[in-house]
Structure 1
Amino acid sequence: MSPLTKRLKVIIISDGTGETATAMSRAIMTQFPERDVYFTRYKNVRDKDQIIAIFDEAAIHHDLVIYTVVTSELRDFIGEQARLKHVRALDLIGPALTAFANYFEQEPKAQPGLLHAVNDEYYKRVEAMEFTLNHDDGRNLNSLHLADVILVGVSRTSKTPLSVYLCQHGLKVVNIPLIQGQILPEELHQVDQRKIFALTIDPEALMGIRRNRLTRLGAESHNGDYADHAKVIEEIEWANTLFSENKRWPVFNVTDKALEETAADIMKLINMRKNNIFKQQRREQQED
């Protein structure tokens, strides 16, 4: 068989998922399109016996070993096995860790799986953002129960921008506009009421925001009740009465408050509730 037609194997060893080594290897292989190569990946390798078995196999077929291992002891052992059994091996992460450690004058954590944890957090934020955008302005209420946060308030109380800000922290957010004279969605009564956060605003501030919006839209002469002084006051009073009737909904006044400030207050309350639940569970376990 010609060397170019021989099918070769690349073995990937990782103390994590091995995705980094796989991605780099495939990127490199684009430069060798004529070679027929297949990959075998060994994930979560933390034991020397595992490494010995892998190199015993690699030595038989003269495979190439690529590894991303963060613990120096295990990396050194892999290097020893490669030399002992005459197997080509490439350390993808060791030299980089050494260079960064020297630059920072600090030893690395050498803790496997950290990148995977970062990726999980990233995908969680992406999922939260998709959910939030698909549930903007009261849409898709059939999946309201999947939300982490439900924002309710009259028009122009920062529901959408606040939703987008919160979802970047991994929270699935639904925002529902409150319209005077319309019955609240039935789904709102069926979910955990602790998920609902009410937004209110001072009437004068709301009128200013709505008038500015109408000016930008060129609709000053067709504003109707939207920015009418008396109607805005009536709408805010109606919403505040609704909030007082639903005592489990914490109310946040967004007047002259930065988006980040309101978001921080909401997240603080959410974390406080989680801590209380955790403490309660611990007490129950201790009692048992």
Structure 2
Amino acid sequence: MFWVVIYIISDAVGATAKRVVQATLLQYPALTPDIRTYPFVNKVAELKPILADAVKEQAIVVVTFVTPALVDYATDFAQQHQLQLVDYMSPLMQVLGQHSPQPPLAQPGILHTINADYFKKVAALDFAVAHDDGQNLQTLTQADLVILGVSRTSKTPVSLYLAEQRLKVANIPLLPNNPLNDAVYHLPHTQIVGLTISPERLQKVRQTRMAALGLTQDNYYTDVASIKAELAYAHQVFAQLKVTPIDTTERSVEETAALILKQLT
């Protein structure tokens, strides 16, 4: 059995170096590694004792520093003490720097930040889909925003657009014969958005929708009198909730979403 001690030192999480080390070790099954990880080392004073221990244990030191002072100290220390040092970041940063018009950000943990933002976006999109059209009202309190409106007022596309902005959005249809869930009345009115539209525009939108489904005959869904009754009911709900609705008649999804974001801020 051949033991090898490996120190992984990073000014961030150290996950990048750990993955590379583990992948490389797969090529050497005869080695039994003892891997020590030292994350969030951001000062030379924190780095010194770790490198001193590495010398005592004759360890291989793997670093992923973006802070120049840490890179310089580790490199000089390794040369002075015959320490085996592998720097995964600096060589590539130097090459890329020759092609970039701007200096590096030198921001530790930026990949972790990007990944966290990505997962937040995915979670928001999953939430919007799961809470589309009045679904899963039992978890409504987890929403950052709740959108109300009659059918075909762009609730779903606006919800998904806002989810792209990392907001957890639920949308609920307003139907005259279907009372609104009590949970909505317990939400802060600043967390609720109402969408409205002109009756004539809504009739055209619904007629287009029905035609796409192969249904061309008018019914209560496309009847302008029924539509006006639905909109009147919606405005009653908005008044009860102390919500000023956004008129989507002449607005795109992006414009509507921009108004909502402005209200939130």
Q: Report TM bin, short chain.
A: over 0.9
Question: Given the alignment of the two structures, is residue 226 of structure 1 paired with residue 221 of structure 2, yes or no?
Answer: yes
Look up the SS of the partner of 1:151 in the other structure: strand
Percentage of pairs with the same residue:
35
Match of 1:174 in 2: 170
Q: Provide the aligned length of Structure 1 versus Structure 2.
A: 265
The aligned counterpart of 1:40 is 36
Note if contact 1:64-1:88 (Cα within 8 Å) is conserved in structure 2: yes
What letter is aligned with 1:256? E
- 1:8 deviates by 2.0
Measured against aligned partners, the alpha-carbon deviations of 1:37-68 in whole angstroms (never above 9, x if no partner) come to 34211011022233222222222332221111
Aligned to 2:143: 147
1:130 alignment partner, SS class: helix
- Contact 1:136–1:176 (8 Å) recurs in 2: yes
Once the two structures are TM-superposed, the CA of residue 34 in structure 1 deviates from its matched residue by: 4.9
Alignment of 1:205-224 (within 5 A): 205-221=201-217, 224=219
For the aligned residue pairs, the C-alpha RMSD in angstroms reads 1.8
Of 112-121 and 250-259, the range deviating more from structure 2 = 112-121
Cα distance in 2 for partners of 1:250, 1:30 equals: 61
Counterpart of 1:96, as a letter, is L
Structure 2 residue runs without a partner (length 5+)? none
Partner Cα separation in structure 1 for residue 219 and residue 31 of structure 2: 71
Task: Check conservation: 2:8, 2:38, Cα contact below 8 A.
Answer: yes
TM-score by length of 2: 0.92
The one-letter amino acid paired with 2:51 is F
1:259 — aligned with what? 253
Alignment-mate amino acid for residue 253 of structure 2: L
Structure 1 residues 27, 165: CA separation in 2 closer, same or farther (over 3 Å shift)? farther
- Who is 1:241 aligned against? 236
Unaligned runs of at least 5 residues, structure 1: 272-288
Letter in 1 for 2:232: E
> How many Å apart are 1:186 and its aligned residue?
0.4
**Distance in 2 between the 1:31 and 1:202 partners?**
67
The offset of 1:265, in angstroms, is 0.9
TM-score w.r.t. length of structure 1? 0.85
Corresponding residue for 1:80?
Answer: 76
Q: Partners in 2 of 1:129 and 1:33 — Cα distance?
A: 42
Q: Give the drift of 1:112.
A: 2.3
**Taking structure 1 as reference, are residues 30 and 246 closer, same or farther at Cα in structure 2, changes over 3 Å only?**
same
Q: Which amino acid aligns with 1:69?
A: F
Q: Tell me the distance in 1 between the aligned counterparts of 2:150 and 2:6.
A: 60
Q: Which residue of 1 aligns with 2:105?
A: 109
Show the counterpart of 2:21: 25
Q: Any idea what the Cα deviations from partners look like across 1:134-192, whole Å, max 9, x if unmatched?
A: 21111121221221110000011111111111011111101011011221110011111
Residue in 1 aligned with 2:132? Answer: 136
Evaluate the alpha carbon distance shift between residue 31 and residue 257 of structure 1 in structure 2; reply closer, same or farther with a 3 A threshold.
Answer: farther
Task: Give the helix-richer structure, 1 or 2.
Answer: 1
Cα distance in structure 2, aligned partners of 1:243 and 1:234 = 14
- Give, in angstroms, the shift of residue 33 of structure 1: 4.5
Would you say 1:193 and 2:193 are equivalent positions?
no
User: Closer, same or farther in 2 for the Cα pair 1:162/1:27, shift >3 Å?
Assistant: farther
Give yes or no for the alignment of 1:124 onto 2:98. no
The residue type paired with residue 167 of structure 2 is L
